[in-house]
Amino acid sequence: MLALQILIDGFAISALYALGAVGFTLLFGVSGVLNLSHGAIVVVAALIGWAAASILGTYLGNLVGVLAALAAAYATYFAVVRPIQRSPAIPREETEIFVLTGTLLWSIMIQVGAAWWFTDNPVTIRPLIAGVVNIVGVRTPANEVMIAVLCWVVIGLLWLLVNRTRAGRALLAAAINPRGLVLLGFELDSIYLLVWTIYGVLAGIAGVLLASFLGVGTNNIGQLTASAFSIVVMGGLGSVSGSLVAAFVVGYLETLTAYLVAPTLRPVPALLLLVLVVYVRPQGLLGRR
């Protein structure tokens, strides 16, 4: 009984982690940007979705939330990341640390700004579908099932986009060899714009779903960024399938700890495992060197 409960809850939380981390890893793989304002963008979607839902209803509200995350992702790219990448005063080998610092500062600005504009209490968006379903004797909210399914549908759509469309293949190529792609006549700028668009939408969906599942607030921003970062590193930076595997490992490990040991220790085993993975296999579970 407890085992089933863990299995179901762990699946839902893992699917959400996976959705959050996939955009993050894609962004790194394609454009080499580690976006430390990830958590802030996710929370922007949740907060604006929550505020819009009270006026426009749940469905439209969620949509507005996703659009808000897209806008926040564009703002991050155009106001912070691109100026740093193009600045002549920043040496090339130091771009990475400047992007890290810049996005971190941006994240704090969003966090404080959102807390001031809206609230720093966690917000919860009304579930998209009500009711409870009975899965082999475990009463599960229908919303939780829908979230897990929706996450996988979105990830599936992403897979189709990347592997089956021309634009998606250009993304893959940019992850492998950007210079070759430029020589073939592709505009790198438009590819970066595409990957930020995908990233914004993914982060937005993760944000509104998280808000309807657990509820999030501006105080979770750091934790959200940290968990996406750890999942992505554990799976291998830039490897989408690695992130999926790592998301499930972390999700289940946390759920197991919370149910069987103590809820307060929830993040500890996952962190220890992360350290172990990084020492033994620095490229991550499925990463390339």
Footprint of another protein on this chain (CB under 8 A)? 34, 80, 83-84, 87, 89-90, 93, 96-98, 100-102, 104-106, 108-109, 112-113, 115-116, 222, 226, 229-230, 233, 237, 264-265, 267-268, 271-272, 274-275, 278-279, 282
Of 195, 59, 67, nearest to 128 by C-alpha is: 59
Residue 101 vs 177, nearer CB to another protein: 101
Residue 196: CB minimum distance to another protein, A: 18
Token readout for 217 is 């607030």
The tokens 């990233």 sit on which residue? 199
Token readout for 20 is 């959050």
Give the phi and the psi of residue 9 in degrees, each rounded to 5: -60, -45
* CA 43 – CA 135 distance, rounded (Å): 31
Residue 148 vs 237, nearer CB to another protein: 237
DSSP structure class, residue 125:
P
Residue 108 vs 142, nearer CB to another protein: 108
Residue 96 vs 187, nearer CB to another protein: 96
Residue 48 vs 147, nearer CB to another protein: 48
DSSP string, 222-273: HHHHHHHHHHHHHH-TT-HHHHHHHHHHHHHHHHHIIIII-GGGTTHHHHHH
Residue 56: CB minimum distance to another protein, A: 28
Residue 12 vs 110, nearer CB to another protein: 110
Which SS3 state, helix, strand or coil, does residue 145 take?
A: helix
Residue 227: CB minimum distance to another protein, A: 10
The burial of 122, by beta-carbon neighbours within 10 Å (0-12 exposed, 13-18 middle, 19 or more buried), is given as: middle
Residue 56 vs 278, nearer CB to another protein: 278
Residue 20: CB minimum distance to another protein, A: 17
Residue 261: CB minimum distance to another protein, A: 11
- Sign of the C-alpha dihedral, residues 42, 218, 65, 80? negative
Residue 220: CB minimum distance to another protein, A: 13
DSSP structure class, residue 281:
-
Token readout for 34 is 């580690």
